[in-house]
Chains A and B, each alone.
Chain A
Amino acid sequence: MQRIIDIGRKRWFVEILPVFILLSLFLIFGIQTKGVIFNRGNLNNILEQALITAIATIAVSFIYTTGNIDISIGSIICVSCVVGGRIFESTNSVPLMLLVTTISGFLLLNINGLLSTFLKIKPMVVAIVMMTVYQAIATQVMGAVIMNIPFNVVNTLQESPIRMVLFFAYLVVSVIVFHFTKVGRQLRLLGGNERCAKTVGINRGRLLLISYIMAGIGIGLSAACTLIRTGTVSSVSPTTGTDVMLATVLGGMSIFGGHRSKCYAGVIGALSIVVLNKGLLMIGVSNEIVQGIRGLIFILIVYLTSEKQKTIPSRLDY
């Protein structure tokens, strides 16, 4: 048993495991669906959905790395799409719609950042409170109405390479900042050992703000991609918040942050979660059972990737 735990901690194992999980999922569902999952349409579908989750997961990795959790992502994306949709309704301008959606996502997440850094409220409490505030805003603005963006607009956007360009651009910038700059190293140290980071003179508030800025760009882009993918605007929050946490753990990054965090984990994790969802639905598993399986996998992987504590995790941990 100890040998298995030791192998589990080896770096090469941690890098290979997410790819192994993804390939296994493809294999299992490929056999179960008799190859139907590998159809062009299904693969396109998987890539499109995974793109949104991947961008959001890369974004949120900046926050998770510092040892914090933000569960308001779904609500932020919802409000950003609502604002973008309303702008399109009044101006009929697609570039403006996408720009406003992205900026809204950026600003909303950075409100959380400002409350956590300058006003020193615990990031998790901020996330919980602001999640309700944003959801209330979305419900008040949209009500029970579902707004559809014209099909020709949505189709043009879906066929253009804009989403892939945005994704790759954000991925490259994030990897450079996270893994090849002083800021990235400091973020990982902050998540790994906050006391040590403070002792060596790292400014926690400034770093948290930087993490929220980087994450805000990603969440804004994710909201824009959501708008392009769905073509509808409503006050219902997407499941992106939960998908992001699942994608993070499936991608091999610890949800508690620290020195072993990697921002690109979200790419593999997002593909895994979308393949899991789609594969289960294709083999006839009902929606609620899919959710139950996701919950089980989530708890299991978090358990396997976290250090077992001698005491019960308490508020000091967050």
Chain B
Amino acid sequence: MDKITFNIKRVLFTLSFPFFAWSACEIICRIVVGASVINNAVDFRNLLRTFVVSFALTLAMACNLPSGRFDMSLGSQQYVIVIVSTSIAFKLGLGPIGLIIWNILFGLALGLLIGGIFSRLRILPMVYGLGMALILECVAFAANANGISFFGKPGVSAINSLPFILGATIIMLLVITYLFNFTKFGYSKRAIEGNQVIARDAGINILTNCIICYSLAGGLVAIAGTFETAYKGSLIPVLNNGTVSVITSGLLTFMLGMFISRWSNSVVGIAISTLTMKILIMGLSKLMLSISIQNLILYIIFVIYLIISTNSYWFEYSKNKKLRIQQAHEMRH
């Protein structure tokens, strides 16, 4: 198979996921409710708005999770960034682009702090994340118990507009693809994901890489938080690890993205998986199903996917075993 054919097959396979998701949802929606998944410009805009939020959040998870660091504090970081940083941005009278850049810088700084503390403590990342989530939720609540409202604020309508969303998505895609695939940081990150000890022995500074990953994740959740709050209109702080659900809801998208990335790269894989999941969710909501039923359906699909992917070696093993037995029989006779 020559290279061009191989690449065409990879592209087709990658794009098949959202295509089949859309086709399945379209058929079911037309049969059940007599409407399409995307009926008008409003549906399309809603799809894109939720896409950019989920894409940024899943990319943030991809900074740490492949290295085995499940950062449960990302949701609480998002809340702190939106509530604290955006308040300052509004007081400074920043426009939409200024607001996003300001929030990103704040997110990078917050991520740097959290990553720095983690690299010093070196406790289990999930446990660290849960503890940090408690602290950051406290900070967000103490900063403003009423949360923040974007209603009537200058520049917010621009953030919600299609060109802005598309522009942000393309910039994120290009910048993160470049960082993950064409920089020394990206190579080091992938080396650490493979084997930390070998990477360290090869001269990679794993602590610096970890801190940069946390910082980058902070910047990405800042983007997610800004767009989500602009879309919903307001953000109210929560306590008792309520922000953990922000991350757990992105786990399916992330794992699907890592699966799809075998035929491209992690950023494209995550973009495609995010689009697939958003189409699925839009389809389920068109069927008038409640959010809890939607979550149930998606997570049952997730559990089935986990069972198949974890035990896929068993199918291969059984097939090879049968082949060996058949070969042994043939040799005997």
Interface residues of A (CB under 8 A from B): 69, 71, 115, 119-121, 124-126, 128-133, 135-137, 139-140, 239, 241-242, 245, 255-256, 286-289, 291-292, 294-296, 298-299, 302-303, 306, 308-309, 311-318
A317-B124 contact, Cβ under 8 Å, with A287-B239, A312-B69, A312-B206: yes
User: Are the C-beta atoms of B296 and A137 separated by less than 8 Å?
Assistant: yes
Tell me the interface secondary structure of chain B in the complex.
Answer: helix
Which of B128, B135, B200 makes the CB contact (< 8 A) with A311?
B200
Question: How many residue pairs between the two chains, A and B, have CB atoms under 8 Å in the bound complex?
Answer: 153
> How distant is the Cα of A291 from the Cα of B296 in the complex, in angstroms?
30
Chain A residue contacts of B32, Cβ below 8 A: none
| Complex Cα gap A124–B132 (Å) | 18
Q: How far is the CB of B245 from chain A (nearest CB, A)?
A: 7
Indicate if the CB atoms of A311 and B126 lie closer than 8 Å.
no
User: Is B133 an interface residue when CB atoms closer than 8 A count as contact?
Assistant: yes
Query: When chains A and B are docked, how far (Å) is the Cα of A298 from the Cα of B134?
Result: 10
A318 to B68: give the CA distance in the assembly, Å: 8
Interface residue B300 (Cβ < 8 Å from any Cβ of A): yes
**What's the Cα separation between A315 and B195 when bound, in Å?**
10
Q: Of A124, A128, A296, A315, which is within 8 A of B135 by CB?
A: A296
The 8 Å CB contact of B241, one of A69, A128, A135, A242, is A242
Binds A, one of B151-159, B301-309, B320-328: B301-309
The 8 nearest A-B residue pairs measured at CB: A315-B68, A295-B134, A292-B138, A314-B68, A288-B141, A299-B131, A295-B135, A139-B292
CB pair B134–A294 under 8 Å, yes or no, is: yes
The answer to whether A302 and B134 touch (CB under 8 A), given A312-B67, A312-B196, A312-B206, is no
Give chain A nearest CB distance to B132 CB in angstroms: 7
Whether A295 lies near B132 (C-beta < 8 A) is: yes
The majority secondary structure among interface residues of chain A is helix
Q: How many residues on chain B are close to A (CB under 8 Å)?
A: 55
Q: In the complex the two chains form, is B124's CB within 8 Å of A128's CB?
A: no
Are B134 and A292 neighbours in the complex by a CB distance under 8 Å? yes
Residues of chain B from 103 to 135 with CB closer than 8 A to chain A in the complex? 118-119, 121-128, 130-135
Residues of B within 8 A of A119 (CB): 306-307, 310-311
Known: A140-B296, A255-B124, A306-B123. A288 touches B310 (CB 8 A): no
B128 to chain A, nearest CB (A): 7
- Asked if B207 is an interface residue, CB under 8 A from chain A, the answer is yes
What is B's interface to A at a CB cutoff of 8 Å?
Answer: 67-70, 118-119, 121-128, 130-135, 137-139, 141-142, 145, 192, 196-197, 200, 206-207, 210, 239-241, 244-245, 248-249, 251, 290-293, 295-296, 299-300, 302-303, 306-307, 310-311
Closest to A245 in B: B130
Residues of the B chain whose Cβ atoms lie less than 8 Å from the Cβ of A136: 292-293, 295-296, 299
Query: Is A313 in contact with B122, judged by CB distance below 8 angstroms?
Result: yes
Which of A296, A312, A315, A318 meets B119, CB within 8 Å? A312
Contact (Cβ within 8 A) B299 A132: yes
Question: Complex Cα distance A135/B207, Å?
Answer: 36
User: CA separation between A291 and B128, bound complex, in Å?
Assistant: 15
Could you say which residues of chain B place their CB within 8 Å of the CB of A245?
127, 130
Report yes or no: B67 in contact with A289, Cβ–Cβ below 8 A: no
Contact of B126 among A69, A126, A239, A288 (CB under 8 A): A69
6 new A-B contacts at CB < 8 Å, known A133-B295, A299-B123: A115-B303, A132-B245, A136-B293, A295-B131, A295-B135, A312-B119
Measured CA separation A130–B133 after assembly (Å) = 20
**CA of A295 to CA of B302 in the docked complex: distance in angstroms?**
31
B residues within 8 A CB of A311? 196-197, 200, 206
**Nearest-neighbor residue (CB-CB) of A131 within chain B:** B248
Distance between A164 CB and nearest chain B CB, rounded to angstroms: 27
- Selected contact of B68 from candidates A130, A239, A316, CB within 8 Å: A316
**B251 touches which of A129, A299, A302, A314 (Cβ 8 Å):** A129
